[in-house]
Structure 1
């Protein structure tokens, strides 16, 4: 299975919220904490912890135009990165997305 089809499957078949992350990234840690604080149960894939991680990151970049992590998906919809998630939280939209 290609990296693109694997990423697509993880987004479609996982929990409602999926985070593609790197374990050492402070923005990724912040985004995961925001979701935990919102009591959201989510799948997380630490791209630096497995051999295909770079391929997955390339597939995500092709899909979203965003090369950086975290790459956050809620209900199959690309939300963006940490600052996008924080903006949704500040505006109250995050609660709506997670409802």
Structure 2
């Protein structure tokens, strides 16, 4: 859990992902297309990926990927991020976290 918290606070936007996950790909693309450069942790390519996935599960991430952190705080998985995008509040969260400038 401490490792997840530490990694999640290293950048304005941090995404825990798996390289083979189509929803992870869609969420990463959503951020890139808005001009945000998130820190990506591909759990299937990390030596401690299984451990990190277990910790994400304990945090309440279900499914465990994609797990999106903005400003060091857990936002949610793909469904939550897409809802925030559709209702217009994702952009403000990114601005508040310093990930996006107007």
TM over 0.5: yes
8 A Cα contact 2:11 2:72, kept in partner: no
Aligned 1:15-94 pairs, distance under 5 A: 15-94=11-90
Q: Runs (4+) of structure 1 moved beyond 3 Å?
A: none
The alignment yields a C-alpha RMSD, in angstroms, of 1.1
Question: How far 1:65 sits from its partner (Å)?
Answer: 4.6
What SS class does the counterpart of residue 87 from structure 1 fall into?
helix
How many residues are matched?
Answer: 95
In structure 2, how many angstroms separate the alpha carbons of the residues matched to 1:65 and 1:98? 20
- The TM-score normalised by the length of structure 2 is 0.87
Q: Which structure 2 segments of 5+ residues have no match? A: 96-102
Question: How far 1:79 sits from its partner (Å)?
Answer: 1.2
